[in-house]
Amino acid sequence: MKEKLLSKLHKRESTIGLIGLGYVGIPLARRFLEVGFKTIGFDVDTKKIDLLKKGESYIRHIPDSAFSQMLESGFEATGDFSRISEADALIVCVPTPLTKHRDPDLSYVTDTAETLAQYIRPGQVISLESTTYPGTTEEELLPRLEQSGLTVGKDFFLVYSPEREDPGNSKYKTQTIPKVCGGHTAACHDIGIALYEQIVDEIVPVSSTPTAEFVKLLENIHRAVNIGLVNELKILADKMDIDIFEVIKAAATKPFGFTAYYPGPGLGGHCIPVDPFYLSWKAKEFDHDVRFIELAGEINRSMPDYVVSKVTWALNQHQKSVKGSKILVLGLAYKKNIDDMRESPSIPLIESLGELGAELTYCDPYVPSFTKITADYFNQNSTEITREILLNFDCTLLVTDHDCFDYELLQSASKLLVDTRGRYDKAHDNVVRG
């Protein structure tokens, strides 16, 4: 089985199946198609499949033309999971969120594994890319796949290769981002490398699937802890009347031993606010507390409250209370130049300000409407920005600094501008750092 599958991968005669057609699955599908693989996409979301079949993008930073090109290259999208047996390689790119108690929610992974077990056949490789705690591939995926009666390392092959996509980043693409890969057995290891070396410039092999899972968590925990640090220092610097962005800019001139991280209104996206808690949850199994991780999470989750306090203070300086004030929120996406709303700090900010009595309107060209907040205090459709419109608001709150915003206009026309991203220096009388 191993040699036959290796030959098909090296000759690019194998069929690739992507399970989960979102921010990870679509870039992978595009790359496999580019190098000549027949590629099938699977998803339970029929709306995605319908749009894809029409060549219409549902991911803002990926244009319609890219989806049309995928179809022209022979890409198929389907919700028929019985076709899993057609693929030689199956790459699982499903969400791994947290529960309301901040415990791992592996239901998407386990449900997918149980579906795979119904249809997998000898000679396939299954790769999990979803971010998760060390041991998930072996403890959750493998036992379910073995219900098929097939033997791992002999009949089928199992690897873990964490996704490293950065939506909206034009500098790094799927091909140029090094790919970490760990196999359950030596044969799985070899098959995993053969699969991914077809589409990426550099493979980073590791000794096991738990090691590869830990690599992904370390990457994101490193960022979460350092962002938590600068967020805490931002609050201290503000009390000391020191510009934290000036401090970071100066510190970043050191050519060694320092990496610049920037504070903001809170963490967003699927990875950094979520992934650290996968490891802290798993650590309890070993009777170990990961205090840095949990402290960083506590600080980062508190940042929307800090921003609300700054908005309250800034309005008071203008003889206004939050209650009854008209506030324009700039940006709902969790980071600039994308439409991803997952874990966005804009949402708790809006909810907190609304509960205090503010009237909230938002502008985000990447999110034209948002209906998950249905309260009376929130306008569900994105507004345009003009000088006349800005003058109608008591406060403009910059949460997500999309490049498409006219920052000169925002500063000159806003009565009060609370900047959570450090886009402005302190020279402007109407600008307050939040």
Which residues are catalytic, by number? 271
Q: CA-to-CA distance for 359 and 355, rounded, in angstroms?
A: 10
Helix, coil or strand: residue 124? strand
Q: CA-to-CA distance for 5 and 178, rounded, in angstroms?
A: 23
Residue 99 tokens read as 């529960």
Query: How many CB atoms sit inside 10 A of residue 7's CB?
Result: 12
Q: CA-to-CA distance for 228 and 294, rounded, in angstroms?
A: 10
Q: CA-to-CA distance for 45 and 353, rounded, in angstroms?
A: 33
Distances (CA, A) of 231 to 152, 228, 249, 378, 398: 45, 5, 15, 27, 17
All residues at 6 or more sequence positions from 338 whose CB lies less than 8 Å from its CB, including other chains: 60, 61, 167, 168, 366
Query: How many CB atoms sit inside 10 A of residue 285's CB?
Result: 9
Q: Which residue has the tokens 């073995």?
A: 146
All residues at 6 or more sequence positions from 258 whose CB lies less than 8 Å from its CB, including other chains: 251, 252
All residues at 6 or more sequence positions from 326 whose CB lies less than 8 Å from its CB, including other chains: 358, 359, 361, 392, 393, 394, 395
